[in-house]
Amino acid sequence: MMVVCGTSLAWAQEGGFDVETFEPMAGATSTTLNLSSSEVLGHQQFAVGMMLHMADGALRVYDQQAGEFIEGVDYQFKGELLAGVGLWDRAEVGLALPVALVQSGEGISAGTNFSGASLADLRLMAKYALLRQGENSPVGLALQGQVWVPVGDEATYNSDGKVRVEPRVAMDWSHGGWRVGANLAYRYRPTREVYNYVGTSAVRWGVGGEAPLWKDRLAFITSIFGDVATQQVELSRNNPAEALVGLRYYLTPDFTTEVGGGGGLTPSVGSPNFRVFASVIFRPSQPVSELEEGPVLTSCEDDPEGCRPTAVEIVEKEEVVTAPEPEPEPEPEPEPEPVVEPEPVVEPEPEPEPEVVVVRERTIEVNENIFFDTNEATIKAESRWLVARIAGVLQDNPQLTRIRVEGHTDSRASEAYNLRLSERRAAAVVKELIGFGVSPQRLVSLGLGQSRPIASNETIEGMARNRRVEFHIVSVDGEPIPAERSVTIEEDVTQAE
């Protein structure tokens, strides 16, 4: 964007500065481009990725004395290596290493033309989740800190040449695949004055979100962000703002890719004419400790008695030979005993088979399984009869005026992915019940993802129990009752493998 440069001011600082305002983040899936989220990666779960982005005209000035525009930075094409790891299910640390792969510009001062590749400042990040959505809070809240390590090239406007720090607050809310969030931060940086541009510390803001477009795989994403400089100077143009839109596609529960673009909203340094971006992020579902296989014993070294022979080997080594014993005299045959007629056996009556769906005082028990397509919210055809049976029981019990259908998952895949999947599966069950004649006013769906396990996620059996749909009776005859866990419908262990 353009900054008009007069002749009354000159360089007050030698060297360049970092003109970049778009700084993507790795880590939790709910992170939207350069906006942090309240979510953190699971303990020892990691994420790595690459973000490519190109900005045009981020530093364009007008020299009144020469009567011409100067493209301080014509364009920059950057690649950023992103990485993060979760700690204790509450914290996350990460880094970003940006490299200007291709760039061009005249610089602002004479004789500073540049091109080619150069390194930008290393960013180190740490985040702590104060509140997590679903844990007695409708929203999530996190604190994050960033530090810029000055390893970049000042001459190409990729570094301030000094350490920068930034505390940040992230807040967000999500439901049914929709997510909105906001960030507020303060970045301390050294002051740079170039003609009538004053680069200084700033309050940074950002809002953004995600909206589902197709199943739980394709989503629309947006990020609107900017800076408000703490030192305002007339005509300084040091309040950049930018808007980006794009698409996020969940290739698998582990791989996410994004593409999109946008441009500057204000004629300020750091607001490009336009920007395009593309990224791919890998977040393995299992934590590092679960990916490491234990040792396999292939010998009997751990046996305190050594490699003991088998039973067959013992017989072969003893080779015992004994003389044959004399044949015994045959005993006289006993006289036959009188035959006693057996008493008639009374067969016990078979126990009645348990009902598939049973309404209790506060719960609904379901003794069969509901099956979904793998990583989808589509109920398999083989389970539609069970949903129909549940619908019939609800229709036979009109006193149950409000039922909450809850979706739950195991801990594989990211927290955000599991939350969306559980929301969609609970909604799919509600939709199917409505299709079988249950009034929509009696039903409500809620997805809780992996936040409420009922078994250990360290075993296959435990994960199978945690993948479930629960039915909770909320009100009877219009009167609310205390919430209480119901017996659940569990998915078969093969459904998510």
Q: What is the pLDDT of residue 346?
A: 59
Dist. CA 156–CA 148, nearest whole Å:
17
- Model confidence at 327, in pLDDT bands (50, 70, 90)? low
- CATH superfamily for domain 31-282: monomeric porin ompg (2.40.160.40)
CATH 2.40.160.40 domain residues, the chain: 31-282
225-261 pLDDT per residue, tens:
999 988 876 656 678 999 999 999 988 777 889 999 9
Instruction: Read off the pLDDT of each residue in 330-351 and give the average, rounded to a whole number.
Output: 62
Instruction: pLDDT band for 416, please (50, 70, 90 cuts).
Output: confident
CA dihedral angle for residue 214, residue 217, residue 220, residue 221, rounded to 10 degrees? 170
* Structure tokens, 197: 């541009």
| Angle between helix 415-435 and 384-396 (nearest 10) | 60
Q: Where in the chain is the domain with CATH 3.30.1330.60?
A: 357-480
Query: Which segment of 15-19, 279-283, 335-339 scores lowest on mean pLDDT?
Result: 335-339
Q: Which pLDDT band, with edges at 50, 70 and 90, does 329 fall under?
A: low
Per the DSSP assignment, residues forming a β-bridge with 180 are 173, 209
312 has a pLDDT exceeding 50: no
If you average pLDDT over residues 210-221, what whole number do you get? 85
CA nearest 193: which of 163, 217, 229, 165? 229
Q: What is the mean pLDDT of residues 124-132?
A: 90
Of 124, 202, 115, 200, nearest to 155 (Cα)?
A: 115
Supply the pLDDT for residue 58: 76
Given a cut of 90, whether residue 266 has pLDDT beyond it is no
* Amino acid 140: pLDDT: 87
Distance between CA atoms of residues 84 and 25, nearest Å: 9
Identify the band that residue 323 occupies on the pLDDT scale cut at 50, 70 and 90. Answer: very low
Which is nearest to 286 in space by CA: 253, 326, 329, 245?
253
Say how far apart CA 25 and CA 188 lie, in whole Å.
19
Summary mean pLDDT of the chain: 77
Given this model, what pLDDT does residue 296 score? 33
Across 183-204, average pLDDT: 83
User: For the residues of 112-160, what is the DSSP string, one character each?
Assistant: --EES-EE--EEEEEEEEEE-TTSS-SSEEEEEEEEEE--S-TTTTS--
Are 447 and 407 in contact by the 8 Å Cβ rule? The answer is yes
CA distance 494 to 497: 5
Calculate mean pLDDT across residues 372-396. Answer: 85
CA dihedral 474, 478, 482, 483 (to 10 degrees): 0
Amino acid at 82: L
pLDDT score for 335: 64
Give per-residue pLDDT as tens, 69-122: 567 778 889 999 999 998 887 899 999 999 999 887 766 665 566 667 889 999
What is the per-residue pLDDT for 360? 78
Contact, 82 vs 281, CB < 8 A? yes
Mean pLDDT for the stretch of residues 388-403 = 88
Give the pLDDT confidence score for residue 317 in this predicted structure.
Answer: 39
d(CA 463, CA 456): 7
pLDDT class of 279 with cuts at 50, 70, 90: very high
Q: Answer yes or no: are the C-beta atoms of 198 and 167 closer than 8 Å.
A: no
% of the chain beyond a pLDDT of 70 = 71
The domain made up of 357-480 has a fold known as 60s Ribosomal Protein L30; Chain: A; (3.30.1330)
Q: Is the pLDDT of residue 15 over 60?
A: no
Backbone angles phi, psi at 387, to 5 degrees: -65, -40
Neighbouring-strand partners of residue 385: none
Specify burial of residue 176 (Cβ count, 10 A radius: 0-12, 13-18, 19+): middle
Selected residue with higher pLDDT from 310 and 57 = 57
Q: Are strands 178-187 and 192-194 parallel, antiparallel or unpaired?
A: unpaired
Q: What is the pLDDT of residue 217?
A: 81
Nearest to 466 by CA among 484, 445, 488: 488
Confidence of residue 292 (pLDDT cuts 50, 70, 90): very low
**Coil, strand, or helix at residue 211?**
strand
| Distance of alpha carbon 287 from alpha carbon 293, whole angstroms | 12
**Quick one: pLDDT at residue 462?**
85
Say if residues 209 and 179 touch (Cβ distance below 8 Å): yes
Q: Is 152 left (phi over 0), alpha (psi -120 to 50) or beta?
A: beta
Name the pLDDT band for 151 (thresholds 50, 70, 90): very high
Return the minimum-mean-pLDDT range out of 136-150, 333-347, 359-373, 388-402: 333-347
Least confident of 11-20, 35-44, 116-125, 288-297: 288-297
pLDDT at 308: 41
